[in-house]
Amino acid sequence: MDATQQSWKLVSLSPLPGWALILLCAALVAGVVLACIGLWREPDPRRRALLWGLRVLAGLCALFFLLEPALRNLQVARAKNRVAVLVDRSASMNFPVEPNGPTRSSQVADALGAFAPQFEAMKDRYAFDVFGFDPELAPVTADSVRNTAPRAGRTDLLAALRALKAGDSSSSSRKLAGVMLLSDGADNVDLSSGLSPRTRAALEELGVPVSTFLVGQEGLKDIAIDQIKVDDFAFVRNSVTAEVELKGRGFKGETVSVVLKPEGRVVATQQVRFTSNEDSQTVAFTFTPDQTGRFVYTVSTPVFPDEAVPENNTRSFALKVIRDRMRVLLVSGRPSWDERFLRGLLKQDPNVELISFYILRNTGDNTGTVNDDRELSLIPFPMDEIFREKLDTFDVVLFLNFGYTEPGLSIATYERNLKDYISKGGALAVVGGDRSFGDSRFSFTVLAEALPVEAAGASDGQSFKARLTQDGQRHPVTALGTGSTSAEAAWNSLPAIPGFNLTRAKPGAVVLLDHPFTNAAGQSAPVLALWEYGRGRSMTLMTDASWYWAFTSHVGGAPSRHYERFWGNALRWLVRDPDLTTLQVQADPPSVEPGRPVGVGIVARLPDYQPAAAAEVTVELVAAEDGKVVGSQKVTAGPDGAAHVEFPPPPPGAYLLRAQAAKGGKALGSGQDALAVRAVGSELADAHVGSSLMNDIAKATGGKAFTLPSDTSLSSVPFLEPPLVEVGRSKDQPLWDRWYWLLTLVMIVGLEWGLRRRFGYV
């Protein structure tokens, strides 16, 4: 508060109450008016004006004595109000003011230094408090602004002003007289789209002028992927569209390439042309996921010279692909019990959409009909439509005892299509029989490259029991055990099957079942083998007698359903059902903001899907672009088989999580997930300067808009005037009780009376 000073104030000392004074004043005015009206007939205007003036003066003198005026001597002081200086500490203040220039935050620090002497000169009337908001308010200085990089993940100007007003309401002294807002105006919360009626009303409720000081320059060159609109999940083999919103500043007339890459593979490129220097374009990428699971996609544009923020040219997103229904194509070489059992099993599964064909006879069969050509089949086999046009719509292709050389039945023309289908993520299962593998007159040439086995001779018709291998004991396809029953015991309980196709496994193939006494190439001949081919999977079963395994369904009075479980496991493995894995890995969350750690949830299970307590799990964080291991951690699973690890914040980009689990020296399985680490948050996605918003804020609150660094004078900044506060004692000096005032009244009345007599009114 300023030093005390003397102040004089005119007051009334009349003892009458206010209402009485008002009535007496009204009566006095009425009397003067009536007295003046009585002189209206005076013909001489000068006499009339003279008498009117005397009567009005007499009325004023009477009013003077009625109010009893006095001078009050006061000791007063002007209260010191406060001015809040708000400094934007959001991350966008790290952007340069101009290409290769200082940062916006540095320019604010310079402005605070220029303001300091002016703050000192005005300290008798205002206290200047400097706060940074990120978004909470905290005191800052010019040095701290210069030496500490702003880091807030959003710019919320309205919240900062509201917080300032809330603090002012709770304070009993030094009311807020004004606000100086130093910011780039890049609000991305309530004011991101400018002032609405609601936000304008909220600003007006502040009740103080907010003067804005804009930091930064318009015209910075920058391309930013503002956001990507895409669903959190998609259905496998169904198209999904990702809409990419692209902002270009300073690129009028430029054409820019936008690239979509899932885990480092370029799948689509589009060209965008900006029509103005402040332009927004939307690019739609439509693609079809071919596998289930979580995958990470990256959208990117080239980085041009002099771009303000090169980091916002890339943005990644995670997409979870789930399965609606499994679409299976079953092609059987002839009607058989194996075909009947398998087709019946697939038809009754509500999760399977089955398309099946089987060959009744070939062209060499003698039917005894008059016209063999017309009786060849019920409908033509639509090979071209299936294997050329619709192949990618199937999740699994299943050949059962299928191999023909006839032109109308041979798939030789479509083998490359099938091979490419598997390589790109499809699934193929080939079941043996007398028309498969080495027993067929037709042998796959191109498609054979995608199969895990190759023919090794004629079929063996001797009955045998398939034997579970070491790999089969822990593989989900052959996991038939339930409860206390092991997988090996379950397979030993199955009946013998009458013969198989003799093949040998290729290097890299995984043999789950083999022959107990027949060898091929010096090793036990495989009965069930599978492998990964490209991004897809293929499986071979060297017998068409798996339907024998259905006979044990009701042995002992209780169904075991080994046959149904085997084929269910096989199909789920072929389509990469995530629930079938014994090690589940999940990123938590799948989309990570910059600077945040990566959390990973793990669930390890034994081959019988019981919790793998105390399992040792190794988790690697791998860059999807080049396969480089960014981090690796080991953890021991708890009693429920669950564990959690956390990686330090990795650089922005697309990542894969790969895990391996083991217990007691035996491998339990592997798992994988994907995640995206954003290059920049919403705060750094755009380097624009909100000049219009800053102008609107100043206008709505009664402040003024300025631009740094040119406007650093406080002479024209509007602040509310500090109020005068009475301090000490006051002393009244009456004015009405002086003798000369009474003499003046008598003289006026006497002069008026004398003139009236002279003019002949009395």
Pair of tokens at residue 336? 């058989």
The tens digit of pLDDT for each residue in 56-105 reads 787 777 776 777 777 666 655 556 788 999 999 988 888 888 777 788 99
Please determine, for residue 558, whether its predicted confidence score (pLDDT) is greater than 50. Answer: no
Largest interatomic CA distance in the chain: 159
pLDDT at site 566 = 92
Under DSSP, is residue 366 helix (H, G, I), strand (E, B) or coil? coil
Please determine, for residue 172, whether its predicted confidence score (pLDDT) is greater than 60. Answer: no
Specify the length of the chain in residues. 762
The tens digit of pLDDT for each residue in 344-390 reads 999 988 888 898 887 765 555 444 444 444 444 455 678 888 888 88
pLDDT at site 258 = 93
Cβ contact 96:103 at 8 Å: yes
Please determine, for residue 556, whether its predicted confidence score (pLDDT) is greater than 60. Answer: no
Q: What band does 210 get if pLDDT is binned at 50, 70 and 90?
A: very high
φ, ψ for residue 670 (rounded to 5)? -135, 165
Between 323 and 517, name the one with better pLDDT.
Answer: 517
Pair of tokens at residue 419? 């091979």
Rounded to whole angstroms, the Cα distance separating 132 from 85 reads 8
pLDDT at site 525 = 92
* Eight-state DSSP code of residue 418: H
What domains appear along the chain, each with residue ranges and CATH number?
A: 5-77+728-758 (no CATH), 80-218+689-722 (3.40.50.410), 222-323 (2.60.40.10), 326-576 (3.40.50.880), 579-677 (2.60.40.1930)
The tens digit of pLDDT for each residue in 646-698 reads 999 988 889 999 999 998 888 887 888 999 888 766 677 777 788 899 999 99
Please determine, for residue 191, whether its predicted confidence score (pLDDT) is greater than 60. Answer: yes
> Of the segments 68-82, 277-291, 404-418, which one has the largest average pLDDT value?
277-291
pLDDT at site 481 = 73
Give the mean pLDDT of 751-758. Answer: 70
The tens digit of pLDDT for each residue in 215-258 reads 987 777 888 888 889 888 888 878 899 999 988 888 888 899 99
Contacts of 416 (CB under 8 A, 6+ apart): 446
Show the 3-state SS of 549-560: HHHHHHHHHCCC
Please, what is the average pLDDT of the chain?
Answer: 82
Please determine, for residue 30, whether its predicted confidence score (pLDDT) is greater than 50. Answer: yes
The tens digit of pLDDT for each residue in 618-643 reads 999 999 888 899 999 999 999 988 99
φ, ψ for residue 317 (rounded to 5)? -145, 150
DSSP states of 500-535:
E--EEEPTT-EEEEEEEEEEETTEEEEEEEEEEETT
Give the mean pLDDT of 722-746. Answer: 64
The tens digit of pLDDT for each residue in 417-441 reads 999 999 988 999 999 888 788 766 5
CA-to-CA separations, 45 to 34, 40, 58, in angstroms, rounded: 18, 9, 20
* CA-wise closest residue to 679 among 430, 359, 327, 309: 309
User: How crowded is the C-beta side of 715, counted as CA atoms within 13 Å?
Assistant: 2
Please determine, for residue 603, whether its predicted confidence score (pLDDT) is greater than 80. Answer: yes
Proportion of the chain above pLDDT 90, given as a percent: 26
pLDDT at site 76 = 52
Contacts of 198 (CB under 8 A, 6+ apart): none
pLDDT at site 695 = 93
pLDDT at site 442 = 59
pLDDT at site 307 = 81
460-464 and 591-592 beta bridge pairing: unpaired
Give the mean pLDDT of 108-132. Answer: 89
Cβ contact 394:327 at 8 Å: yes
